[in-house]
Amino acid sequence: MTASLDPVTLQILKSHFEAAAESMAYTLLRTAHSAFVKETEDFTSGLTTPCGQTFASPKDLGATWFVGLDYAGVIGAIDSYRPGDICITNDPYSGYVCTHAPDMHLWMPVFAGERLMCFAVGHIHNTDMGGAVPASLSRALTEVHQEGIRIPPCKLVDGGVMDEKLLAVMLRNVRMPEQNWGDLKAQIASLKTAERKMHEAIARFGADMVHAGMYGVLDLAERQARRLFASIDDGEYGFSDYIDEDSPGGVPCRLKLTIRVRGEEAEFDFSGSDPQLQSALNMPTGGLPRHILPLVGYNYVVYSLDPTVALNCGLSRPVRCILPEGSVVNPVHPAATGMRSLTCTRIQGIVIGAFSRALPGRLPAGPAGGGGILNVRTTDARTGRLAMASINPITGGGGGAANGDGQDGSNSFLKNTPVEITEAEVPIRVLSYGLQPDSGGPGLHRGGLGTQMTFQVFTPNSVVTARNRDRVRFSSWGAAGGLAGATCGFTRNPGTANAEDLGNTDVVRCAPGDVLTISASGAGGWGDPFERPVEAVLRDVAQGKVSEAGARAYGVAIAGGVLDQAATEALRAAPRPAPQAITLDPARIAFERVWSEAAWDRLSELLFALPVEWRFFMKHQTFAQVAQDAAAEADPVAAIERGFAAAAAPYPQLAVRQGEAA
């Protein structure tokens, strides 16, 4: 199919496709109503083949998570297409394209005469889709039914005619219908922009050449991905990490990955990750071997190692994922999925960690993760009207790397919303907003700092949601001798007698005058911090990125802004532990004295021998038993087996399953 396309022609077509996707994104950005779309840029725009493979998407606009999203599952759910159709869904369990209810996906066929050439596709994150809490998302929700209205794949516009009844049902069930309707119109405009741009390409190059180019750029990305795996020694490379809580006040959730490289291909095995949760942290993938969510970190790795790669579905062709059914990475209906972005963020980190072991020195330390995405629902005292908006993502930093410090206050694709826009969108007062000193992990190259915001609300019954809150207990990891980043924080009325540590709480009901301070965690450092030039540490202190006390982690003594040369030399000459390839934070080291990899692997074996509905319950029961076991640290695996047996004893119906697991 692509043999007739020479490399120059293919690059020209690739540029046209990407320009069409950029035009879509720009149209959406300039016409959207909600701050989360027009400022934070939580949206996608793209073009897919007739069978749903994304072959073009913007590089600089929108959500970079979804550059390889496969729309096959929802495209195939519609019986037939004709010009003027626009289809819609936001159901996480229909086709596994949408991944939580606020993400509204649209797709539109583009024809050349009667020939279906491609689809224009994209999504926006709606600030609210109804459900149990404002903004629809909370870790505490346990069923997808609580997370807002769900629309299965269907036609919103049929041959150019809007389905007004479907639209009315959707708008009746959300808290800010005018905002949702405004964003939906912007989405439709972006799809029509893509249709126009593709018609221009077809008129210039011809339908056959455009068709060949679509598949040609997919093949190009596949070749580039295979080149990466060919450069890695065959073998297994593993990594794991934790979410602080698998449910409100719960126990940690483990995510585990083993990458098996064989020649030009790789298997990403997520076996050993926790069973699906009774919370909203589940990541809906349907077990699809190339679902985009477990592969976001992989796409970031490939692009970091080779910025010339074509960002499309072709990158995933050499990869196959193993996603056990009934696990946190492949839940079964009706598990809640609203907070899947927290799980996906942590998986990005473990993918980077596994590749760091495969390619030492070529990738950064652990990314921060754990920052909250803030929404406020309150009342405008001037008008008495309900006001609701996303006010800012509180982001962590990027990991330090061999070639420099991690990026401060930037994690993944979310953009900063200016304070002036925030205060115009919703009646709150932002008291401070900036970088959190000492949050980046010390290293030759410092980890990126997290951001911090303090704001005040003024009316009764104001509700602040801060989804994705995490990294209060376990922080990011350092690499090549670098140290872990700092944890994050969330406090109500800080500095007062009524100050309250909110931990990982993600829904806070506020009284008039309440002040909230929220900070993101920092990323891990790279390289021995004592090798960081003293001048660089002094500059960090002068800029407020590192405190004078924090400078001592780099072996630098500063008092009153002045370097103490003698004390610095003494600090750097003192004995200290040998640098580690991967440096974990102290809380994780202490936790794993009992909950070692072998112990958790054994628990996973026992749990996955049970029916899905028993696994989360028995995990918590086993944790409670192990916490009372004085000998747990001496033999963690035996302690897990004792704990599981004791937890199962009151439930004879589990005896057969328990015997199979043993």
Q: Are residues 147 and 211 in the same domain?
A: yes
More confidently predicted of 77 and 385: 77
- The DSSP code sequence of 614-648 is HHHHHHHHHHHHHHT-TTTTT-HHHHHHHHHHHHH
Q: Which two tokens stand for residue 336?
A: 């809640």
CB-based contacts of 117, cutoff 8 Å, min separation 6: 50, 110, 111, 198, 202, 207, 210, 211
Q: Are residues 546 and 633 in the same domain?
A: no
Q: Which two tokens stand for residue 550?
A: 């924090």
More confidently predicted of 397 and 539: 539
Q: Are residues 554 and 639 in the same domain?
A: no
Q: Are residues 74 and 175 in the same domain?
A: yes
Is the pLDDT reported for residue 3 higher than 50? no
66 found inside a domain? yes
Please give the pLDDT value at position 557: 97
95 found inside a domain? yes
Q: What is the mean pLDDT of residues 543-572?
A: 96
Residue 611, preceding peptide bond in cis (omega within 30° of 0): no
Please give the pLDDT value at position 1: 39
pLDDT band for position 411 (50/70/90)? low
Q: What is the mean pLDDT of residues 313-317?
A: 96
Q: Are residues 530 and 657 in the same domain?
A: no
314 found inside a domain? no
Residue 134: which domain range?
A: 7-223
Domain count, the chain: 3
More confidently predicted of 619 and 60: 619
Is the pLDDT reported for residue 221 higher than 50? yes
| Among 548, 582, 616, residue at a domain's last position | 582
352 found inside a domain? no
110 touches 190 (CB < 8 A)? no
Q: Are residues 466 and 542 in the same domain?
A: yes
Please give the pLDDT value at position 481: 95
Can you tell me the distance from the alpha carbon of 196 to that of 109, in angstroms, rounded to the nearest whole number?
Answer: 12
Q: What is the mean pLDDT of residues 405-425?
A: 85
pLDDT band for position 661 (50/70/90)? very low
pLDDT band for position 659 (50/70/90)? very low
Q: Are residues 493 and 523 in the same domain?
A: yes
DSSP 497: T
Q: Which two tokens stand for residue 369?
A: 């993760």
Can you tell me the distance from the alpha carbon of 183 to that of 34, in angstroms, rounded to the nearest whole number?
Answer: 7
pLDDT, mean over the chain: 94
Q: Name the residue among 20, 108, 8 with its Cα closest to residue 58.
A: 20
* Helices 597-608 and 612-627, axial angle in degrees (round to 10): 140
| Among 175, 201, 223, residue at a domain's last position | 223
83 found inside a domain? yes
Q: pLDDT tens digits, residue range 457-484?
A: 999 989 999 988 899 999 999 999 999 9
pTM of the model: 0.94
237 found inside a domain? no
Q: Are residues 540 and 412 in the same domain?
A: yes
Q: What is the mean pLDDT of residues 101-119?
A: 97
Q: pLDDT tens digits, residue range 326-376?
A: 999 999 999 999 999 999 999 999 999 999 999 998 999 999 987 788 889
Is the pLDDT reported for residue 23 higher than 60? yes
375 found inside a domain? yes
Q: Are residues 486 and 598 in the same domain?
A: no
| Angle ∠(339,341,342) on CA atoms, nearest 5 | 75
CA 147 to chain CA centroid, Å, is 18
Q: What is the mean pLDDT of residues 400-429?
A: 88
pLDDT band for position 662 (50/70/90)? very low
Give the strand order in the sheet containing 161-162: 54-56, 43-48, 115-125, 103-112, 86-89, 154-158, 161-162
Element (H, E) at 105: strand 103-112
Please give the pLDDT value at position 494: 96
The CA-atom distances, in angstroms, between 578 and each of 50, 262, 527, 582, 583 are 55, 33, 12, 12, 11
User: Could you give the dihedral angle defined by the CA atoms of residues 60, 61, 63 and 68, in that order, rounded to the nearest 10 degrees?
Assistant: -60
Q: Are residues 603 and 574 in the same domain?
A: no
Q: What is the mean pLDDT of residues 121-137?
A: 94
Q: Which two tokens stand for residue 577?
A: 């532990």
Is the pLDDT reported for residue 207 higher than 80? yes
Q: Name the residue among 653, 594, 590, 578 with its Cα closest to residue 626.
A: 594
Is the pLDDT reported for residue 660 higher than 80? no
pLDDT band for position 383 (50/70/90)? confident
Q: Are residues 490 and 596 in the same domain?
A: no
- Say what percent of the chain tops pLDDT 70: 98
| Among 178, 200, 223, residue at a domain's last position | 223
282 found inside a domain? no
Q: What is the mean pLDDT of residues 310-322?
A: 96
Q: Are residues 552 and 618 in the same domain?
A: no
